[in-house]
A and B are shown apart, each in its own frame.
Chain A
């Protein structure tokens, strides 16, 4: 580990085992589906099997008479009721559309909801769905984005008059001038395919009238209990102060549960209307069509450089598939990458355009990395293509253009200021761990002998922007929410500590890492801290968990809340020890008088004194707590160098990942073991995009990859042991020195893999392969190159 700071003492930096794990491993968990309330009605959804159709007639009479069925609803029962909403109208002229809770006259994707059954048992509800009869008039489906934009294309939303949702432009510098100076211009079309987030736990909800007079409690497998509460109030008309949202144990999200869904909206409305608990647990098949999808962009990328390899400018023209509707941040997701197309490199101009397109497919939205995997893919892939065009070693081209460590803070071409970084250090370490020169030699030998299995080296020297975000910046981007985070710390009368956070973990280990931060700041044992989250009843303020923001933003709130608590306790300690607060020293939970350490009290002792309140200074209120709501100064910019050794069987197109090195820099690590876990999981997902995953539709808009037999997720058996390390360049805009790490692996690895595959077969005339790099896609690229011309 290359460190540029001294290791901090105490808890921060320890690879502590996670507090969460014993309970998770022993099955003592509370998943939403485990919640069983008396009198529950089970909800089931009749979903359209056709991508685009008019609903002519729905006959629910047989279903209504079926055993156990209590109600059957259609769209007619909820006129005008929205099932989801979009909080990010990215341009002034964006075409916004209504997302019905239940479709009334038209279905717009395979999976759209046409009827809802409530029954006394889950199985009976499922049986009743088979008894509902729907007459559809099939309409032509809009599947391909380029076709969708053509004059005369069928329309997803007839009333909109167009399938173009928006066009967002961001010209930075003068690209045409930069291009005019260029000796070399390389253009490529990259396809960032559609992905299905596939968390281990599909979605689930239980809504029940519970607790105070009119309160409705919604337990839901979500990443965003706080934001959801606000949106549920807005969409259902139920007062916000009568809605409590709880995210119990949540089995993964990856962005898929950063959403407000019609299933949640209907559960809340029906629980309120009927006064009974309503429950729904999604099946895997349902999840694959009904939870939002991710990525799905056509990227036309052009890069201009001098013949010596100096970058001049870049042009980015995107088509982004919105799917059938807009949900929470559907249109904004591709734009989360727009500032990052220049990656770690210096250039004079970036001309960015993105057009969002409606199609008759599942709605897209955030998926691990959201926007930045796409931008990173584009820049890291085109850098390899430019290197090939110039005849340069791809790593040398990168070194020539990246921001050197002494040039930080550095403002990139799009106007973002990277606070700190050290690309040289991360790259040097990665090259060392990888054995770069040996692998290059082996590559040459295999080429020379015409080996069936060829070797390629894939490079990704990336940075990303995470830690959403300064509220002011979000406002400037038309995003209808802030990016602050909250923490309340309480030392209870018995000395135990409650840490109440507004982040909402679903696998990330916040209970452990947050305890480590608080243990250091307020000097109490790690074990004495209970972290409370994911319940608007117990943790009322928060902006939840996504975009690698929880530590980057939420961590700051813990630090400030802790410092405020420590200061309050100092005043009480000074009063009781009869000295001025300036004469009190605080060290590891003990307040003592300077120069007279015998005179001291512990923070726990002071907490008890603050509880009894028998002897407090005049202006000090009872109880010992500290609160903070913190808005971050800036985004967070983790970076790293990833290297992949890829083997390609040229006879079959089969790609094998032989070796993977990831050196990441996320600044100060609160818990290196959790960082390691985040890196591994991220890598698996990024590699999966490159090699295995891809949602495919036929021309009628049917999802062909609607089961895990067709939509391939890798398991540990498909991945090598990753070789990882970290360099540590602390952030200067984040008080703990930390940077986000939740998405880095997923962002960096996809281009590393594809660069490696292309590098292995470039000598055969190949200069791109479609993702996923399945045997058939790779074999076809080789065939096409051999039959003249690149694929």
Chain B
């Protein structure tokens, strides 16, 4: 399809981007990797008059090791998440999940921040942010603020980022030693979106699960924490049976949609099956 006409500004600093957004009024959009925005424009689902490009802002393209967390710039590409040694070592769940996103061409352009700000319920990276209790650094004309993951994802394609704000970075806590990670993405073709996804980080000590962080992709309007499964697992044995039993509640309280790939009922079933698989893999069994 063919988008409507728009103006384009490439910002070199966060302040410049915010200033352009404020000056641009109601009809302005941020573009980062463009892998979600450009399709939206081409289908004429959105008609912005101005587009502010944040993909070349240095601050937003860097990863900073803060000790107990990594501060990952919003414009860091999905491909970089897979290949960065710090991400691999300290947040393996993120690196592993990033490798399941789309295909290499899209991963080289699409960004971590773009994916979170877009907040497609089928997006894989937001689920990791939700599972790991990430924090989002947002800049606006009044300065910067930090929002927790549970408050960041508001609804379908809706986040805490205001229309004249920029998502600058995502702070992802390191879990430390003893944690295993796994992302189960259930999809029909290698480059398709998730029908359902399950991100799990699990800590085991002496055959007992002592910690679990589990979040689900595409089981509702936003990425959803499977807290009842986390509770049921914690303190229990790391066995296939126990994990299966705990995962039976994975779909409780979720609100999956129905589409051409799966009806809601099937999605709920898949969420239970893949929660058990992700937890088992993360626990090393």
**Does A130 lie at the interface of the complex (its beta carbon under 8 Å from any beta carbon of B)?**
yes
Q: How far is the CB of A538 from chain B (nearest CB, A)?
A: 34
**Does A325 lie at the interface of the complex (its beta carbon under 8 Å from any beta carbon of B)?**
no
Chain A residues whose CB sits within 8 angstroms of the CB of B190 once the complex forms: 715, 717-718
Q: Provide the bound-state CA to CA distance between A776 and B269, in Å.
A: 11
Chain A residues whose CB sits within 8 angstroms of the CB of B2 once the complex forms: 122-123, 126, 283
Q: How far is the CB of A218 from chain B (nearest CB, A)?
A: 23
Q: Provide the bound-state CA to CA distance between A670 and B266, in Å.
A: 50
B188 and A652 contacting across the interface, CB-CB below 8 Å: no
Q: Provide the bound-state CA to CA distance between A696 and B258, in Å.
A: 14
Chain A residues whose CB sits within 8 angstroms of the CB of B177 once the complex forms: none
Q: Provide the bound-state CA to CA distance between A715 and B106, in Å.
A: 15
Q: Provide the bound-state CA to CA distance between A709 and B261, in Å.
A: 10
Least CB separation from B270: chain A residue:
A652
Q: Provide the bound-state CA to CA distance between A418 and B150, in Å.
A: 68
**Does B1 lie at the interface of the complex (its beta carbon under 8 Å from any beta carbon of A)?**
yes
B270 and A705 contacting across the interface, CB-CB below 8 Å: no
Partner of A712, one of B42, B188, B266: B188
B189 and A774 contacting across the interface, CB-CB below 8 Å: no
CB-CB under 8 A for A712 and B189, given A652-B270, A705-B260, A775-B262 = yes
**Does A439 lie at the interface of the complex (its beta carbon under 8 Å from any beta carbon of B)?**
no
A652 and B261 contacting across the interface, CB-CB below 8 Å: no
Least CB separation from A780: chain B residue:
B266
Chain B residues whose CB sits within 8 angstroms of the CB of A704 once the complex forms: 260
**Does B192 lie at the interface of the complex (its beta carbon under 8 Å from any beta carbon of A)?**
yes
Chain A residues whose CB sits within 8 angstroms of the CB of B274 once the complex forms: 652
Q: How far is the CB of A755 from chain B (nearest CB, A)?
A: 21
**Does B245 lie at the interface of the complex (its beta carbon under 8 Å from any beta carbon of A)?**
no
Q: Provide the bound-state CA to CA distance between A596 and B252, in Å.
A: 95
Contact with B along A272-295 (1 / 0, CB 8 A): 000000000001111000000000
Chain B residues whose CB sits within 8 angstroms of the CB of A692 once the complex forms: 188-189
CB-CB under 8 A for A775 and B43, given A652-B270, A717-B190 = no
**Does B44 lie at the interface of the complex (its beta carbon under 8 Å from any beta carbon of A)?**
yes
Chain A residues whose CB sits within 8 angstroms of the CB of B192 once the complex forms: 709, 712
Q: How far is the CB of A706 from chain B (nearest CB, A)?
A: 10
**Does A779 lie at the interface of the complex (its beta carbon under 8 Å from any beta carbon of B)?**
yes
Partner of B186, one of A284, A654, A712, A718: A654
Chain B residues whose CB sits within 8 angstroms of the CB of A774 once the complex forms: 188, 261
Least CB separation from A713: chain B residue:
B189
Q: Provide the bound-state CA to CA distance between A692 and B260, in Å.
A: 12
**Does A428 lie at the interface of the complex (its beta carbon under 8 Å from any beta carbon of B)?**
no
CB-CB under 8 A for A776 and B262, given A692-B188, A715-B190, A717-B191 = yes
A652 and B273 contacting across the interface, CB-CB below 8 Å: yes
Least CB separation from B263: chain A residue:
A776
Chain B residues whose CB sits within 8 angstroms of the CB of A652 once the complex forms: 186, 270, 273-274
A715 and B189 contacting across the interface, CB-CB below 8 Å: yes
B191 and A696 contacting across the interface, CB-CB below 8 Å: no
Contact with B along A702-720 (1 / 0, CB 8 A): 0011000110111101100
B262 and A715 contacting across the interface, CB-CB below 8 Å: no
Least CB separation from B259: chain A residue:
A710
Number of A-B contacts (CB under 8 A): 62
Q: Provide the bound-state CA to CA distance between A283 and B188, in Å.
A: 25
A127 and B193 contacting across the interface, CB-CB below 8 Å: no
Q: How far is the CB of A687 from chain B (nearest CB, A)?
A: 12
Chain A residues whose CB sits within 8 angstroms of the CB of B273 once the complex forms: 651-652
Least CB separation from B269: chain A residue:
A779
B260 and A710 contacting across the interface, CB-CB below 8 Å: yes
Chain A residues whose CB sits within 8 angstroms of the CB of B262 once the complex forms: 775-776
Least CB separation from A281: chain B residue:
B2
A127 and B188 contacting across the interface, CB-CB below 8 Å: no
Q: Interface size (B, Cβ < 8 Å)?
A: 26
**Does B285 lie at the interface of the complex (its beta carbon under 8 Å from any beta carbon of A)?**
no
Chain A residues whose CB sits within 8 angstroms of the CB of B103 once the complex forms: 715, 717
Contact with B along A680-704 (1 / 0, CB 8 A): 0000000000001000100000001
B266 and A709 contacting across the interface, CB-CB below 8 Å: no
B191 and A715 contacting across the interface, CB-CB below 8 Å: yes
Q: Provide the bound-state CA to CA distance between A116 and B105, in Å.
A: 36
Q: Provide the bound-state CA to CA distance between A712 and B44, in Å.
A: 22
Q: Provide the bound-state CA to CA distance between A249 and B14, in Å.
A: 46
**Does B231 lie at the interface of the complex (its beta carbon under 8 Å from any beta carbon of A)?**
no
Interface of B is mostly: loop
B 60-77 contacts with A by CB, 8 A:
none
Least CB separation from B122: chain A residue:
A709
Contact with A along B77-98 (1 / 0, CB 8 A): 0000000000000000000000
Partner of B266, one of A130, A283, A718, A779: A779
Chain A residues whose CB sits within 8 angstroms of the CB of B270 once the complex forms: 652, 775
Q: How far is the CB of B156 from chain A (nearest CB, A)?
A: 16
B5 and A123 contacting across the interface, CB-CB below 8 Å: yes
**Does B141 lie at the interface of the complex (its beta carbon under 8 Å from any beta carbon of A)?**
no
Most-contacted residue by chain B among A123, A712, A779 (CB, 10 A):
A712
Q: Provide the bound-state CA to CA distance between A776 and B265, in Å.
A: 10
Q: Provide the bound-state CA to CA distance between A715 and B190, in Å.
A: 8
CB-CB under 8 A for A285 and B191, given A696-B260, A710-B260 = no
CB-CB under 8 A for A283 and B1, given A710-B260, A775-B186, A776-B263 = yes
**Does B239 lie at the interface of the complex (its beta carbon under 8 Å from any beta carbon of A)?**
no
Q: How far is the CB of B112 from chain A (nearest CB, A)?
A: 21
Most-contacted residue by chain B among A651, A713, A717, A776 (CB, 10 A):
A776
Q: Provide the bound-state CA to CA distance between A654 and B192, in Å.
A: 14
**Does B243 lie at the interface of the complex (its beta carbon under 8 Å from any beta carbon of A)?**
no
Partner of B188, one of A122, A284, A285, A775: A775
CB-CB under 8 A for A127 and B4, given A654-B186, A779-B269 = yes
**Does B202 lie at the interface of the complex (its beta carbon under 8 Å from any beta carbon of A)?**
no
Least CB separation from B4: chain A residue:
A127
Chain A residues whose CB sits within 8 angstroms of the CB of B266 once the complex forms: 775-776, 779-780
Chain B residues whose CB sits within 8 angstroms of the CB of A286 once the complex forms: 1
Least CB separation from A688: chain B residue:
B189
CB-CB under 8 A for A285 and B260, given A126-B2, A715-B189, A774-B188 = no
B 163-203 contacts with A by CB, 8 A:
186, 188-193, 195
A 90-134 contacts with B by CB, 8 A:
122-123, 126-127, 130
B 237-274 contacts with A by CB, 8 A:
259-263, 266, 269-270, 273-274
B193 and A709 contacting across the interface, CB-CB below 8 Å: yes
Q: Provide the bound-state CA to CA distance between A219 and B119, in Å.
A: 44
Least CB separation from A649: chain B residue:
B273
Chain B residues whose CB sits within 8 angstroms of the CB of A718 once the complex forms: 189-190
Most-contacted residue by chain A among B1, B2, B190, B193 (CB, 10 A):
B2
Chain B residues whose CB sits within 8 angstroms of the CB of A776 once the complex forms: 261-263, 266
A 752-789 contacts with B by CB, 8 A:
774-776, 779-780
Chain B residues whose CB sits within 8 angstroms of the CB of A651 once the complex forms: 273
Q: How far is the CB of A393 from chain B (nearest CB, A)?
A: 32
Chain B residues whose CB sits within 8 angstroms of the CB of A126 once the complex forms: 1-2
Least CB separation from B191: chain A residue:
A715
Chain B residues whose CB sits within 8 angstroms of the CB of A709 once the complex forms: 192-193
Chain B residues whose CB sits within 8 angstroms of the CB of A717 once the complex forms: 103, 189-191
Partner of B195, one of A705, A715, A775: A775
Least CB separation from A714: chain B residue:
B189
Q: Provide the bound-state CA to CA distance between A715 and B192, in Å.
A: 10
Chain B residues whose CB sits within 8 angstroms of the CB of A696 once the complex forms: 260
Q: Provide the bound-state CA to CA distance between A714 and B190, in Å.
A: 8
Q: Provide the bound-state CA to CA distance between A411 and B260, in Å.
A: 44
**With A284-B1, A652-B273, A776-B266 already in contact, 15 other A-B pairs whose C-beta atoms are closer than 8 Å:** A123-B2, A127-B4, A283-B1, A651-B273, A652-B186, A654-B186, A710-B259, A712-B189, A715-B103, A717-B103, A774-B188, A774-B261, A775-B195, A775-B262, A779-B269
Q: Can you give 8 contacting A-B residue pairs, CB < 8 Å?
A: A283-B2, A285-B1, A705-B260, A710-B261, A715-B190, A718-B190, A774-B261, A775-B270
B residues bordering A, Cβ < 8 Å?
Answer: 1-2, 4-5, 42-44, 103, 186, 188-193, 195, 259-263, 266, 269-270, 273-274
Q: Which 7 A-B pairs have the closest CB atoms?
A: A717-B190, A126-B2, A283-B1, A710-B260, A776-B266, A718-B189, A651-B273
